[in-house]
Amino acid sequence: MAQKTNRTRRWVLVGGGAAVAAGFAIREYRLIPEAHAGGRITVTEAHDQATQGNILLVDIRTPREWRASGVGAGAVPLDMRREDFVQALTDLVDGNAAAPVALICARGVRSARLSNQLIAAGFTNIIDVPEGMLGSAAGPGWVRAGLPVQQYQEDAG
């Protein structure tokens, strides 16, 4: 009986270990941005360019995230989960698919993936902000860089 209990325990441990390893693999995949064909800029460059009107900076995070950390000054909140996201972005650039649009998310993963999707959809000047709002391997991020944020207004995005 003790031998059967030990075997059962061993399989539980092996199965649990496999589940933990799979969880880490999925987490790592979700945190690794895709290669991106467009340009890249730092959060400081994004802030400067957006406040000077040289780019449209779009914060593609969710309303919950905007409420938690605010929206970078000069950025437009536009939830990437919107079914009409491409049309809403097209409206923001007045139909100009060549307008410079920089995307920022929390840590640069979603912005890189969405950049590729927008390039495939015909946008020709998509720029990624890989540091994101909260920082990544690319840099400290908007918040830790001390760049200004604005409180999210519920009717925006």
Residue 7 confidence (pLDDT) above 80:
no
Q: Are residues 79 and 141 in the same domain?
A: yes
136 pLDDT higher than 50: yes
CA angle 38/39/45 to nearest 5° reads 150
126-140: average pLDDT: 94
Inside any domain, residue 78: yes
Mapped onto helix, strand or coil, the DSSP state of residue 56 is strand
113 and 50 in one domain? yes
- The answer to whether position 128 is within a domain reads yes
Query: Mean per-residue pLDDT for 142-151?
Result: 96
The reply to whether 8 falls in a domain is yes
Bridge partners of residue 141, in order along the sequence:
none
What is the 8-class DSSP label of residue 139? B
Residue 154 binned pLDDT confidence (cut-offs 50, 70, 90): confident
| This prediction's pTM | 0.77
What is the 3-state secondary structure of 61-127? CCHHHHHHHCEECCEEECCCCCCCHHHHHHHHCCCCCCCCEEEECCCCHHHHHHHHHHHHCCCCCEE
Burial class (CB in 10 A: 0-12, 13-18, 19+), 26: exposed
**51/3 same-domain check:** no
Asked whether residue 156 is assigned to any structural domain, the reply reads no
Instruction: Look at residue 116 and give its three-state secondary structure.
Output: helix
Q: Taking the alpha carbons of 64, 67, 72, 76 in that order, is the dihedral positive or negative?
A: positive
HSE of 128 in the Cβ direction (CA atoms, 13 Å)?
A: 26
Residues 55 and 96 in one domain: yes
Same domain, 118 and 137: yes
pLDDT in tens, 28-75: 444 445 566 678 999 999 999 999 999 999 999 999 999 999 999 999
> Looking at residue 157, what is its pLDDT?
45
Number of domains in the chain: 2
Mean pLDDT taken over the chain: 85
Which residues make beta-bridge pairs with 77?
A: 59
Element (H, E) at 64: helix 63-69
Q: Round to the nearest angstrom and report the end-to-end CA distance of the chain.
A: 62
Residue 36 pLDDT: 60
Indicate whether 101 belongs to any domain: yes
CA distance 87 to 129: 21
Question: In which domain, by residue range, is 13 found?
Answer: 1-31
pLDDT at 47: 97
Q: Is residue 97 located within the same domain as residue 143?
A: yes
Residue 140 has pLDDT above 60, yes or no: yes
For residue 5, is pLDDT > 90?
no
Do 13 and 73 belong to one domain?
A: no
Question: What average pLDDT does the segment 90-106 reach?
Answer: 97
- CB neighbours of residue 132 within 10 Å: 28
